[in-house]
Every structure is written in C-alpha cells, then in structure tokens.
Structure 1
Amino acid sequence: MSNIDRSSASMTSINVFIVLVSVNNKSSRSLANIAGIVAVATLVSKLFGLVREQIIAAAFGVGTVVNAYAYAYVIPGFLLILLGGINGPFHSALISVLAKRDKSEAAPIVETVTTLVTVILLVVTVVLVVFAGTFIDLLAPGLDTEVRQIAILQLQIMSPVAMLAGLIGIGFGTLNAADSYFLPSISPLFSSITIVVIMGCLLLQIGDKINTPQYLTTGAIALAGATLAGAILQWLAQLIVQWRTGMGKLRLRFDWRIPGVMDVLKVMAPATLSSGMLQINVYTDLFFASFIPGAAAAMRYGNFIALTPLGIISNTILVPFLPVFSRLAAPENWSELKVRIRQGLFLTALTMLPLTAIFISLALPIVKLVYERSQFDDNAARQVAPLLMAYGLGLLFYLARDVLVRVFYALGDGETPFRISIINIFLNAILDFLLVNAFAAPGLVMATIGVNIVSMVIFLWLLNKRLNGLPLGQWSKSLFGLLIATVLASGASYGVSYVWQQYLGNNGLLLLFQLVVASLVAVIVFFVAILPLRLPEVAMLLGKIKQKLGRS
C-alpha cells in the first residue's frame, strides 16, 4: 500500500463526520444537534456498561474467569472496535459513498458489501475457532494452564463476534447515511443489557458458588455466551431499522459491478489496515501482563473507570473542533488555527486534569464504591487502585494527542500520524519491557503514557515548523501552572478524604459522600489555583457547561 493510500485511509475515519455534516446541511439537523444525540446515547450506553462491569466484578473479582476473558476477548473485541465502531473503517467507507448518492442506490450497495464482508469474516471466525489455542498462546504466553484452557474455550465461543463486528460496522454507516444517529450510538447498550441479564440470572441461581472450581467452567461459558448474544442483539436491532429505512435487507448479492461498491471497498480495505496498526500496542501490553497474575483483569477494571468520563468529554471537545480545524487549513487562516489549537489543548487540560487529581487521590475509594461486592473484595480493590491512578495520570496526554492528530488530518496530512504510530509500536514495547519490571502492571500503563507524551512533543514540534511558529513558550508556562494546580487539588482532595475516613468512616453511603465531598474539593481547589493564569479557555468551558445545563 502506498503512502497516499495510508494518508487517505487515516483521514477517512476522522473526517467522516465533516463529510456527513456537509451533506446533512440539506436537512434541519445541525452539528450541535447530532453531537447532542450522540452524547446522550453515549452517556446511556456508558451507564449500562458500568452496571455490566459491576456484575462481572461481583461474580468473578479479579479471578481466573475474568482474567481469561480479558485475553479471550482481545481479538473479538479488537474487531468489534475496529470494524464495528463509530468512525471505524466500515462506518466511514459507507458514509463517504452513500452520502453522495441517492437513497434508492443504497440498498444494492449495502447488500453487496454485506455479502462480501460476511464471507470474509466467516472464514476469520472458523480460523479463530480452529486455532484458538494458538492465538491465546501468541497473545499470552505467560498464562497458567487453567487460565489458558478457559481463555481458549471463551475465544471459541466468542469467535462469531468477528463476523458480527463487520455487520455492526456496516449498520452504523448505513443508518448514519440515512440520517439516523440515536440507534447506532445506543446499540452497544443492547450488548450490555444482555450480559447483565444473563450474568444476573446466573448469580441469582448459583450465588457465590459461581467462582468455585465446580462452577468455574459454567461461569466462563456464561460470560462468553452472553457477550456473543449481546453482539447478535446489537446487530439485529440495527438490521430491523435498516430494513425499515430501505437501506438494504438480509440478502446475498454478488454483483460487484454495481456503481459505488468498488468505491466503498477502495476506502474500506486500506482504512482497516491503517486503523488496525493502532491496536498493536494493546497486544503488546497484554503480552507482558500475561506474566503477572490477575493483571489483565485489573487493567480491564481500571481502564473502564478512567475511560468512561474520558469518552463522554472527548466527544464534547473533539467533535466541535473537527470542522473548525478543517475550515482553517489554508495558510491565510493559520493565525486563527493556532488559536483554535490552543483552545483544543487547554480545554482538554481543564477537563482532564481535575479528573487526574481525583483519580490519583481517591483511586482506592472509587474502586471500592464501583466494584467492591461479593467476589470483588478489598484485596481486589487494592490491586486495581494503582492502575486507576496510572490511567488517571495519562488522561491529558491521551486526549491532547488526539487533538493534535486531528490538526494534521485537517491539514491534509494523514501520513505523519501514521508514521509516528509505527514508531510508537516499537517505543511502547521497549517501555513495557523496562517499566513492567520496575512497577509491575502499572508500568504497562506508564509505558502508554510515555508513548503519548513523546507523540505530543513530536506533533507540536512538527506543527511549529509547518505553521511558521507556535507560542510554545507561553503555552508551556500556562500548562506548568495547570500541573501545579493539579498537584494542589490532588493533595487537598486526599487530605479531605483521609480526615473523613478517620473521623466518620467510609461504610455504606458514607463512602459515596466521602467521594462527592473530596471530588468537589479537588475541582474547587483546581479552578481557584488557576485563576491567576487568566486563561480565556476557562470562560469557554464555563459557557459550554451553562449551555448544556440550559438545554437540560
């Protein structure tokens, strides 16, 4: 694949929202309305996702079943995110083609692409079933015999998710092209509900015995089966609406000569390869985690807590900036583009750093509140808490890197982020090897943070050269002030939490009140500490919050 292909592939998944908005100018829906729909649906899905994780934690803690599941789900989950996610290559390719064509042309294109994707991913599914043991050994050579056997069984059960991932991605793109946003965004909810219902019924029937050797296989099969059933339900929910909107039925069609089919495939194939490169770091982390008992399960729980607010906030920040960056890509607009880059970075800092302060100072009580029940005991909480602290440290760098990547795409340069992602694969492996020995599982998260920091520095250096200079010195001073405020906020929050626990305790509702009070202290101290910086982005952030509250 040529570098041009790589550039196009990378740009497609990011700029699809801009293409969609420009096409939908014909309709009454604005960017704000679409973003609002997606934000609400995302929030609902995240809340049910939280309940799902709590059920799993209560059933299995950080024990054998959930540790095996973390590895068994790697490939199906990777394909579900890569192929079946919003802004994934399937979603992006279909929108980029269908949005430019009459609705009457959509059904044959969708049905033909669906047929091809189903055939290819059916082969992938069979390969996963037959060679499940080989894949688990490649992903996690350090697993003990029991965990390995359960992981193999779970991977075989969940293998059809590979095929469903492609169908779900096609459904996302088709429905968005038909101006339907709520169902695609909320469809992951069906998967979470299925897991909650199945695992909840099993817990009611078996109770604490579910984590005993007698029922270990039963629990493992139930968890994997519920995941598969959830993916099936998610696909069927999309398929029904797809039929009703006239965007294709469940029909085999092999006519590759239909106009538009090759256009979809030309975007879909390289975009899939390009997006897949970004997931190699996940494999690398899990490879090293397999040598640490319970590490994969603990990382799963900590990662979910950290990414829940990040996912919601990132949509609010990134979506409005995508079209703005693109409109300012011409050289005569670079002075305003620099202002917008600063706004994106500092809005990211103003939202992520208070969360960092909270996660660092309150990691253990947060984990206890969210997960500690039944099989998830105090020892499990203390295993997950350091990982949540590590994830909290990386929030700013994770999201700020994404902001900078969007700037490159807006400038028509997808090649640079792609090349840096290749470098990051090797850098992540080196840092994993070095830091896992010193810090165990949290070292794997620190390695990712290091990769994101290096990426940020490179991106800023390149943008400084390309845009004829950025006020990096001024930005650095303000950022340093924000970091100092984060330290103060974290210390104040920890102090309040410690005093509360010493004098009032943290049993039952007291733990919830402790977290609420300590978190509010962190936010208040942070924003009071940054007042001398006189950042204009503070007023922007407050304006966005007032706007959201006013709409509510």
Structure 2
Amino acid sequence: MRGAVSLNQKKSRSLVSIAGLVAVATLVSKVFGLVREQAIAAAFGVGSVYNAYAYAYVIPGFLLILLGGINGPFHSALISVLEKRDKSEAAPLVETVTTLVSLVLLLVTVVLIVFADTFISMLAPGLGGEVKAIAVQQLQIMAPLALLAGLVGIGFGTLNAADQYLLPSISPLFSSVAIVIGVVTLMWQLGTNLNNPENWYLGAMVLAGGTLVGGVLQWLAQLWAQWQAGMGKLRLRFNWRIPGVMDVMKVMGPATLSSGMLQINTYTDFFFASFIPNAAAAMRYANFIYLTPLGIISNMILVPFMPVFSRLTAPENWPELKVRIRQGLLLTALTMLPLTAIFIALAPVIIRVVYQRGAFKSADADLVIPVLMAYGIGMFFYLARDVLVRVFYALGDGETPFRISIFNIFLNGFLDFLLYKPFQTPGLVFATIGVNIVSLVIFLGILNNRLGGLPLQEWGKALLALTGISFLAGVGSYGVSWGWEQFYPDNNFFLQLLRLLLSVVTAFTIFIILSIQLKLPEVYMLLSRIKGKLKK
C-alpha cells in the first residue's frame, strides 16, 4: 500500500511538473507572438498589406489550428493509439501515418496553389484590386502550410506520447521569430513604413514567406526530436496494414470533420468583413490581445473541471455536479468580468501601448479600439459556453454540442448580415457574442431538464451582482486613466505604460474588494488558488 501511495505521489508530481513546463513554454510563445504582432503593426499598421494577409492566412491558419494544434485531431489520435502500444511499434506506425497524411495534404496544397484566386474570391468577395491580388499571392506562398500542419500535428502527438512536452509547446515561436526577422530586416532596408503602395508586394511576400519559413522550422525541430526519441524518421511507408494505423485513421477522420465544422463561423465573419475597409486587419490585432488572457485563464478553469464533471455523472451525484457547474460559471465570471471592464474602459490606452508605433498611427488605433471593446463584452459568454460544453462531454453527450454548433453556423451568418452594416467591424464581433449567448441559454435549458432542475435564479443573482461590480471597477479604472491624462498628457511610452498598469490595478482592486463582500465561496476559492500560485 505504501509503495502504491508513493507511486501515485510521484505521478502526481510528474503531472504537476509537466503542467508547469507547458505553461512556461506557452507563455514564452505568447511573448514572442506579442513581439511579432508589434513588429507587424509598426511595419504595416492597419493597411492593405496586413489586411490582405489576414484573408490569405485564413485557410492555412485554420489548418494549422485544426490539424497542427495541441488537442487537435492529429495530436489526439496519435496519443490515443501510441499510449496503448509498445515503443518498438511506434516508428513504423508514425512513418506510415505520416506518409498517408502527407499524400492527402500534398494534394490539398496543390489545390490551394492552383485555385488560390477562387478561394480568396469565395472567402472575401468584397476585396478587389491590388489587395485581392496580394492576398492571392500570399495564399499561394503559404499553401504548403497545409502539408506542414499535418506533419506538425503528428509531431505533437508523437512527442507527447514519448513524454516530450517542452519542444512541442515552445515550437510555435519559430514562426514568430521568422516573421519578426523578415519584417525587421525589410524595415531596416526600406524604412519604417512599408505601407506605401510601391512597397506593398515586397512587404506582403516577406510576411507570407516568413510565415512559411516558420512552419518549416517548427516541423524540422519536431522531426529531429522524433528521430532522437526513436519515434520515426523521414521515411516513406505505404503499408497501412501495420497494427495501429487504421486505429489512428478511425479517430483522426471523424475528429477532423467535427472540429472543422466548428471553424466555419470564422469564414462567415471574414466573408462579411471583406466589405468593410481594413476590417480583417483590425480584427486580427484586437483578437490577439483578447485571446491572450482568455487562453491562459480558460486552461486554468476548464482543465481542472473536466475530470471533476466526469466523476459526477451518475444520478446520485447530480447535486454535487450542479454545485460544480455553479463553480465553473462563477469562476468564469470572477476572471472574465474584470477583464471585460478593463477592455471597455482602457481599450484606447491598451491599443496605443501595445501597437502604436511606426506605421501604426492614431487613425489605425481608432479602427482597432472599438473592436477590442466589443471582444471584451463577449469574454464571459465565450468561456461560460465552453464550461457547459465540458459538462455535456462529461455526460457522454457530444451530439448535443455538435448539433448546436451546426445551428450556430446559420445563426452567426444571419447575425453577421444584420449587424455588419450598422456597426461595421464591431458588428461582426457582436454577432459572435449573440451566438454564444444563445448557445449558453440553450445549454442551460437542456441541463436544467436533464439534471432535474438547476438553481438558475440563485446563479443569476450572483452573476448580476458581479456584473454590477465589474461596471464599478471599469468606472474606477477609467477615472484613474482620465485623471492621469490630465496631469501627464504626454504620449511617452513609459508614462502610458504606467498609466495602464495603475488603471488595471485599480480595476482589479475594486473588483476584488467588492466581490469579497458578496461572501461567495467561489471568491475565496479563486483567491486561494492565486495565493497558492504566488507561493510557488
């Protein structure tokens, strides 16, 4: 018994160290991502080059997320099969799967190159002239990312199965580094502003080429690590009868189709964005800031709750399951609502501190600011919906979320059509928020019936109180920001950074102090988690 306890403790420590390693690597990648976006903003601003790139990158970026991302179908399929097999079987299995996947994705790459003009016309019918021509050329340059996405996804799964986590988690920074080097070199040669029409094509090609080079470097780094771990080499194998190959394909195919359906909303948004000048570029800049804290916090909330939900699916455990659902929703509110207040109250300062230098002028900031504010409004609804989706998965019901996602595709298109003209670019974000709100209501209604009733009124009162507190936090932070500007109107970067930090601290301080007065157990739970992290 003592030996078993020791083994479990060792495994627990191992999991904690892995989680810490992945968190640090992810943070490093995020920092390099920020530097990349700042370099692009300084070089191109919210102009034609980056706007064209935003459309050209939609399909390659979608494939990188879908096929090459952690927890994507390729990653999950490889881990699920390799974990059940002896290491000696890994190399031929991985090489065979790589060969089969590469043949399919090589065909996709050729199709993207040949029909790039058609894809851009379908995706962005509102684009015209040189901007469309640039987007077509950029898509042709980045088309091989379709092949690289599959190879990177296979590498993620293979290396994780071999207990290697640092390289897969940190490898996305290769793309950021390649783009930064290309853009900075071009700025050094041609000056700080590459947004002049005579420099459009050169700047666009460097941006697309840097993205492709980054993808190649990411794959080569993983390939070398696979080789060292004995998990396969760069070798063609066509024997799909090798044990495990069909098991991988059976998981990989349906998972890819299912995940791909959920990305259609992105295409819909960009379709309507093409009728709004520079909308795609503005959305990309704002989206990066919005997703950075959302991605980190979502892992903190979703990852621990998934196994908890799974243990409480039996009817006799439903009372505790309801408590855990409440905890998930209220922890989401406690982390997302202060960020909503900050993004709405301080969006001008945030955009100017992060982006406004070089080619990114005040007029560019004016385009991005309302988009970031709109994203801020939807933070709670986005993450709360994901919490409830995990409840359905824990209950063994993946069909309901999938059906609702299909409905959401049509709803998103309808809301985009209604809102993009009166609200311009923020209207596309409002459409997504509307979809998330509707999904949240539907999920709560279904769970209310399935679990024999939820205390929705009680939860609603707590959420309403936290919303009111977030409003006061936003007012307080805005007041501090406004007061600072009266005394220090200078646009000096460090003064603006201090202004932002002081205003953010004010927002969090007000939110925490007033939230404690509500005496919600989730407040103390969150504070204890934060204290635990700080002690480490």
Q: Same fold (TM over 0.5)?
A: yes
Match of 1:258 in 2: 242
SS in structure 1 at match of 2:191? helix
How does 1:148-187 map onto structure 2 within 5 Å?
148-187=132-171
8 Å CA contact 2:371, 2:425 repeated in 1: yes
Cα distance change, pair 456–209 in 1 and its aligned pair in 2 (3 A): closer
- Verify: 1:109 aligned to 2:93, yes or no: yes
- Verify: 1:188 aligned to 2:172, yes or no: yes
Cα distance change, pair 506–541 in 1 and its aligned pair in 2 (3 A): farther
Of residues 495, 502, 506, the one that matches 1:521 is: 506
Of residues 137, 141, 144, the one that matches 2:125 is: 141
Aligned residue identity for 1:541: L
Per-residue CA deviation, residues 82-106 of structure 1 (Å, 9 max, x unaligned), is 0000110000111111111111111
Per-residue CA deviation, residues 47-104 of structure 1 (Å, 9 max, x unaligned), is 1100000000110001110000000000000000000001100001111111111111
Of residues 337, 340, 350, the one that matches 1:366 is: 350
Of residues 444, 454, 462, the one that matches 2:446 is: 462
Aligned residue identity for 1:516: L
Of residues 412, 415, 423, the one that matches 1:431 is: 415
SS in structure 1 at match of 2:512? helix
Cα distance change, pair 138–440 in 1 and its aligned pair in 2 (3 A): same
- Verify: 1:510 aligned to 2:529, yes or no: no
Q: Which of 242-251 and 420-429 deviates more?
A: 242-251
SS in structure 1 at match of 2:192? helix
- Verify: 1:543 aligned to 2:528, yes or no: yes
Match of 2:20 in 1: 36
Deviation of 1:355 (Å): 0.7
Match of 1:532 in 2: 517
Distance 1:251 1:329 in 2: 45
8 Å CA contact 1:88, 1:169 repeated in 2: yes
Distance 2:159 2:337 in 1: 36
8 Å CA contact 2:32, 2:176 repeated in 1: yes
Match of 1:345 in 2: 329
Per-residue CA deviation, residues 444-487 of structure 1 (Å, 9 max, x unaligned), is 00000010011111111111111112111110000000110111
Aligned residue identity for 1:90: F
How does 1:385-404 map onto structure 2 within 5 Å?
385-404=369-388
Distance 2:62 2:9 in 1: 34
Match of 1:53 in 2: 37
Deviation of 1:25 (Å): 9.4
Aligned residue identity for 1:382: D
Aligned residue identity for 2:502: V
Deviation of 1:326 (Å): 1.2
Distance 2:103 2:182 in 1: 30
Deviation of 1:354 (Å): 0.8
Match of 2:361 in 1: 377
Cα distance change, pair 30–538 in 1 and its aligned pair in 2 (3 A): farther
Distance 2:159 2:329 in 1: 32
Match of 2:294 in 1: 310
Distance 1:25 1:250 in 2: 38
8 Å CA contact 1:39, 1:315 repeated in 2: no
8 Å CA contact 1:35, 1:319 repeated in 2: no
8 Å CA contact 1:60, 1:376 repeated in 2: yes
Of residues 465, 468, 489, the one that matches 2:473 is: 489
Deviation of 1:130 (Å): 0.4
Distance 1:447 1:526 in 2: 28
Deviation of 1:530 (Å): 2.1
Distance 1:130 1:186 in 2: 33
Aligned residue identity for 2:208: A
Aligned residue identity for 2:527: L
Per-residue CA deviation, residues 393-422 of structure 1 (Å, 9 max, x unaligned), is 111111111111111101100000000000
8 Å CA contact 2:419, 2:427 repeated in 1: yes
Distance 1:79 1:130 in 2: 18
Q: Which ranges in structure 1 are unaligned for 5 or more consecutive residues?
A: 1-22
Distance 1:419 1:501 in 2: 50
Aligned length: 529
SS in structure 2 at match of 1:201? helix
SS in structure 1 at match of 2:68? coil
Distance 2:44 2:535 in 1: 42
Per-residue CA deviation, residues 171-223 of structure 1 (Å, 9 max, x unaligned), is 11111111111211111111111111121111111113522222211100000
Of residues 69, 75, 91, the one that matches 1:91 is: 75
Distance 2:360 2:218 in 1: 29
Match of 1:422 in 2: 406
Distance 2:19 2:312 in 1: 21
SS in structure 1 at match of 2:127? coil
Cα distance change, pair 25–225 in 1 and its aligned pair in 2 (3 A): farther
Of residues 317, 328, 331, the one that matches 1:333 is: 317
Cα distance change, pair 480–507 in 1 and its aligned pair in 2 (3 A): same
TM-score, normalising length: structure 2: 0.97
Identity %: 71
Distance 1:230 1:168 in 2: 12
SS in structure 2 at match of 1:210? coil
Distance 2:319 2:163 in 1: 35
SS in structure 1 at match of 2:277? coil
8 Å CA contact 1:506, 1:514 repeated in 2: no
- Verify: 1:227 aligned to 2:230, yes or no: no
Match of 1:270 in 2: 254
Aligned residue identity for 1:536: P
Q: Which ranges in structure 2 are unaligned for 5 or more consecutive residues?
A: 1-6
8 Å CA contact 2:193, 2:359 repeated in 1: no
Per-residue CA deviation, residues 484-511 of structure 1 (Å, 9 max, x unaligned), is 0111111111111111112222422111
Aligned residue identity for 2:354: V
Q: Which of 228-237 and 174-183 deviates more?
A: 174-183
Per-residue CA deviation, residues 12-43 of structure 1 (Å, 9 max, x unaligned), is xxxxxxxxxxx999956544333222221111
How does 1:195-210 map onto structure 2 within 5 Å?
195-210=179-194
